[in-house]
């Protein structure tokens, strides 16, 4: 059956397996690719395109099947071991973090949002108490940590978008709280995407919540300073890892994945991280995942010394650091987990309107469901408008033109959606 061609320009770094490239930013004759187009069946196809193109055009109506062999899911030894043949050799597979489940949404986005909101309020209250307890020298209650993150994980497993949507609307107040909850959310979503067992995802969510607890022992003035740290202060800041381990020891927190995430979330794939300078397979899998989660959330959050970048740009920065700072396969899976336009991303439409991404369309990742927040002149709408970009009946079809940093045009989406 014939169909009208609908194309979208995409940077090569933002391509995903399953897309179909219909046009290039250069002459076909200057490349080895067939004139009829390039199906993206693996990361190798993207790497080949990157040698010739900066951006391409994808056919929004065509999807292609991935290659038969995945580089990550279904291949635990490669996934766990990182650099095949490297000096460190392959790492043993963590039996808790092996893909074994396939998750599908069991609740609609709209039905899940109220439960996600309740779970978010619960874990946020716990994060606030946690910092106070640590500063007062009180131990962490491992049972209370689990009780706080289980509703979060349950919500993420029921719906891939609802909890991320609620978390993205958080009030931008204390970075310590929002970073803990944000990393916990991302860890649960990443674990779901990778197909880990529910109990393993609970551990990852707990690790995301606790991996920066050592910062509660650092001077607040230093953490909130707008300017750069001096050498002595930077060395003190790095001590939050060992401080965190001491807090876990004092509290009797012995979950191995939680401890791995706290101890190694600042290690880097090329050995340039701290505190031990571990590299490649020597970094446990939970730590490799935590490094990606921690960096992504930090970049996409406002800090005292710099503004937040868009989630889209944060993903591109992670991709630029693949096989150097972060394991490439994990970066690619994290990108696939969040989508081209992660939930909560502010975007500008071709109409001039500003919208926020609400729900991913798994079939066409470039056409999510969005809430339109402004008029074409960027003035606020009296009421926001929900539009599924994949199914539009309007004469003027809306498309995402570009992503925007949080706070662009003075827009705070929480003013529209939070009670």
Is the pLDDT reported for residue 162 higher than 80?
A: yes
- Of 234 and 261, the one with more pLDDT: 261
List of residues 6+ apart from 223 with CB closer than 8 A = 175, 176, 215, 237
Tokens encoding 93: 């597979």
pLDDT of residue 87: 34
Tell me phi and psi for residue 56, to 5 degrees: -140, 175
Pairing of the two strands 7-11 and 55-59: antiparallel
More confident residue, 263 or 234: 263
3-state secondary structure the chain: CCCCCCEEEEEHHHCCCCCEEEEECCCHHHCCCCCCCEECCCHHHHHHHHCCCCEEEEECCCCCCCCCCCCCCCCHHHHHHCCCCCCCCCCCCCCCCCCCCCCCCCCCHHHHHHHHHHHHHHHHHHHHHHHHHHHCCCCCCHHHHHHHHHHHHHHHHHCCCHHHHHHHCCCCCCHHHHHHHHHHHHHHHHHHHHCCCHHHHHHHHHHHHHCCHHHHHCCHHHHCCCCCCCHHHHHHHHCHHHHHHHHHHHHCCCCHHHHHHHHHCCCCCCCCCCCCCCCHHHCCHHHHHHHHHHHHHHHCCCECCECCCCHHHHHHHHHHCECCCECHHHHHHHHHHHCCCCCCCEEEECCCCEEEEEECCCCCCCCCEEEEEECCCCCEEEEEEEEECCCCCCCCCCCEEEEECCCHHHCCCHHHHCC
**Averaged confidence pLDDT in the chain:** 85
What are the tens digits of pLDDT across the range 314-372? Answer: 999 999 999 899 999 899 889 889 988 999 999 999 999 999 999 988 777 788 999 99
pLDDT of residue 399: 92
Residue 170 has pLDDT above 80, yes or no: no
CA angle in degrees (0–180, nearest 5) for 415-418-419: 110
Dihedral sign for Cα atoms in the order 99, 318, 18, 71: negative
At 382, give phi and psi (nearest 5°).
-65, -35
Work out the pLDDT band at 176, boundaries 50, 70, 90: confident
The CA distance from 12 to 308, in Å, is 24
Distance separating alpha carbons of residues 62 and 273, to the nearest angstrom: 42
Lowest pLDDT segment from 146-150, 173-177, 193-197: 173-177
Yes or no: say if 410 and 373 are a contact pair by the CB < 8 Å rule: no
Residue in the structure block whose two tokens are 């396969």: 329
Instruction: Give the pLDDT mean for 385-393.
Output: 88
What is residue 25's predicted lDDT score, i.e. its pLDDT?
Answer: 85
* β-sheet with 20-24: strand ranges across: 7-11, 55-59, 20-24, 38-39
Domains and CATH numbers, the chain: 7-59 (no CATH), 109-338 (1.10.3210.10), 346-417 (no CATH)
Query: Largest Cα–Cα distance in the chain?
Result: 69
Distance CA 94, CA 80 (A): 7
- Is the pLDDT assigned to residue 23 strictly greater than 90? no
Nearest-angstrom CA–CA distance, 120 and 106: 19
Please tell me the predicted confidence (pLDDT) of residue 242: 93
Asked if pLDDT for residue 223 goes beyond 90, the answer is no
Who has greater pLDDT, 51 or 151? 151
Q: Which of 46-50, 291-295, 302-306 has the lowest mean pLDDT?
A: 302-306
Q: How many residues does the chain have?
A: 419
Please write the tens of the pLDDT for every residue from 45-99: 888 898 888 888 888 777 776 554 333 433 333 344 433 333 334 445 677 888 8
User: Cβ(58)–Cβ(15) under 8 Å?
Assistant: yes
> What is the β-pairing status of strands 354-359 and 369-374?
antiparallel
> And the tokens for 296?
């992504």
Residue 395 region by backbone torsions, left for phi larger than 0, else alpha for psi between -120 and 50, else beta? alpha
Q: Which pLDDT score is estimated for 27? A: 78
Cβ atoms of 89 and 280 closer than 8 Å: no
**What was the pLDDT predicted at 171?**
60
Give whole-number Cα distances, 371 to 147, 297, 301, 347, in Å: 33, 22, 21, 10
Crossing angle of helices 256-264 and 240-251, in 10° steps, is: 160
Among 38-42, 92-96, 116-120, 278-282, the range with the most confident prediction by mean pLDDT is: 116-120
pLDDT the model gives residue 142: 93
> Which segment of 48-57, 117-126, 136-145 scores lowest on mean pLDDT?
48-57
Residue 9 pLDDT: 84
Q: Is the pLDDT of residue 416 over 60?
A: yes
What is the layout of strands, in order, in the sheet containing 400-404? 380-388, 369-374, 354-359, 346-349, 400-404
């Amino acid at each position: 059956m014939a169909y009208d061609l609908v194309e979208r320009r995409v940077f090569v770094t933002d391509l995903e397996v399953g897309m179909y490239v219909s046009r290039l930013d250069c002459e076909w004759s200057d490349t080895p690719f067939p004139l009829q187009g390039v199906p993206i069946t693996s990361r190798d196809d993207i790497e080949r395109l990157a040698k010739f193109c900066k951006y391409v055009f994808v056919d929004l109506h065509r999807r292609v099947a991935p290659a038969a062999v995945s580089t990550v899911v279904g291949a635990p030894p490669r996934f766990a071991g990182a650099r095949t043949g490297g000096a460190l050799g392959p790492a043993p597979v963590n039996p808790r973090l092996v893909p074994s489940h396939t998750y599908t949404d069991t609740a609609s986005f709209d039905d899940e949002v109220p439960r996600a909101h309740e779970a978010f309020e619960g874990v946020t209250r716990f994060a606030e108490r946690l910092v106070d307890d640590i500063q007062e020298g009180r131990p962490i209650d491992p049972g209370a940590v689990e009780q706080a993150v289980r509703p979060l994980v349950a919500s993420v497993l029921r719906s891939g978008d609802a909890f991320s949507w609620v978390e993205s609307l958080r009030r931008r107040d204390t970075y310590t709280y929002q970073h803990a909850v944000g990393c916990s959310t991302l860890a649960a979503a990443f674990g779901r995407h990778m197909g880990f067992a529910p109990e393993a995802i609970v551990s990852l969510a707990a690790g995301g919540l606790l991996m920066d607890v050592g910062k509660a022992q650092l001077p607040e003035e230093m953490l909130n300073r707008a300017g750069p740290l001096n050498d002595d202060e930077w060395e003190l800041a790095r001590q939050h890892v060992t401080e965190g381990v001491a807090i876990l020891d004092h509290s009797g927190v012995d979950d191995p994945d939680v401890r791995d995430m706290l101890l190694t979330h600042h290690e880097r794939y090329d050995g340039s991280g701290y505190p031990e300078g571990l590299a490649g397979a020597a970094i446990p899998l939970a730590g490799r995942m935590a490094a990606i989660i921690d960096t992504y959330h930090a970049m996409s959050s406002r800090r005292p010394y710099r503004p937040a970048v868009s989630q889209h740009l944060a993903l591109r920065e992670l991709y630029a650091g693949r096989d150097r700072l972060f394991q490439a396969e994990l970066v690619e899976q994290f990108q696939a987990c969040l989508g081209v336009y992660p939930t909560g991303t502010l975007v500008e439409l071709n109409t001039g309107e500003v919208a926020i991404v609400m729900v991913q369309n798994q079939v066409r990742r470039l056409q999510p469901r969005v809430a339109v927040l402004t008029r074409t002149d960027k003035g606020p709408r009296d009421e926001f408008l929900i539009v599924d970009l994949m199914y539009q009946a309007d004469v003027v079809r809306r498309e995402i033109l570009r992503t925007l940093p949080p706070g662009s045009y003075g827009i705070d989406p929480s003013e529209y959606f939070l009670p």
